[in-house]
Structure 1
Amino acid sequence: MVWETLNIIGTIAFAISGAIVAIEEKYDILGVLVLGFVTAFGGGAIRNLLIGAPVSLLWDQALLFSLALVTIIIVFLLKDVWINYLKRVIIFDAMGLAAFAIQGAMLANENGLPLVAVATAAVLTGSGGGMVRDVLAGRKPVIFRDEIYALWAMLAGLVIGLGLITAPFMFYTLFVIIVVLRMLSVRFNWTLPKYSDVQKIYK
């Protein structure tokens, strides 16, 4: 049940995120659909390649493809005022990151992979679709921007890989924690050290 719930949340959240980016870049309906689908399913495809799962598993998700399609079309038909509002709301991207990071870590952990692989699967599943989206849109990938992003996905992977989740409800608790941390990092501009920060020490 946890797996299916995270799948639905992540797919819808990232479909919205991808569609909004495409609309911002003034893409036509085909471009909006492509960017929405890539954002929603790109991370899962990258994860499957990483852990050796058949990439064809991606096509066994008819319900999720339907949900993504409906979501993208709804976003495309929204008025400007709603699109402008959604641009300022980061919760969709945060929810997609959290849901897919946890899902990726769960799959890697269930396959008996080591901790580093579980953490990596969490990062790539949570941020892979967004990276492909940003590259196709000609943007700097969000994973490399100032606000902390991939670190929260890695945290989810470490928690699951270390076996700290002992009950289904704890997955949902972890989901909420990752969403809140991502939103706080944007709200308060939390960043990781950059090279320029290190150089300031010597001055």
Structure 2
Amino acid sequence: MSTVLVGKICWVLLIVGWYVIRYPFERRAKRRRVAATRRGRAETVRMLISLSGLGIIPGIFVATGLPRFASYVPSPFQTGLGMIALIVALVLFRLTHKALGRMWSVSLDIREKHELVTSGIYRHVRHPMYSAFWTMALAQALLLPNLVAGLAGLVGFGTLFFLRIGPEEAMMEETFGEAWRDYRSRTARLIPGIY
């Protein structure tokens, strides 16, 4: 089996793993009422950009090999690093969903009786879901040997992250006030002790 095929199969497993982890939380979230939301046109555009980078563009490459001009032959080492990043991304993703439980939301929503989650992986990082998605985008870049499809996740998710993080943190401060400010002061945004 070629290294290219191994990378493509691993990317598909990453997407399947992501969906299997997320699906039960998504179903449960539909049953809980939203008290406040920051969804709107801008959020829809951000989500579509992220979906394009992490799903549509790499999916086209995996299915068709397009765009061929941007393809290259990967090293087994690169693919191996991609497999490690894949595992780390899925573990982070699962830990994040487990810690959030009933408070999980796909977008900028505050649920009725929403509580500030500071336990589990949230003890160390304020936005471990974003850490998981950054790691997922890194895995994609390493697993898919195509400069367009591989890097699309970093660009697509990066766009969502940098345009969403400010409004999200403002919403959390507005909702939780001093509890949020205290939590923010003792935790990193994405990587403990670094950022």
Determine if the TM-score, normalized by the shorter chain, exceeds 0.5: no
Please state which structure has a larger fraction of its residues in helix. Answer: 1
Q: Which of 1 and 2 has higher RCO (CA within 8 Å, sep 6+)?
A: 2
TM-score for the superposition, normalised by structure 2: 0.35
**TM-score, length-scaled by structure 1:** 0.34
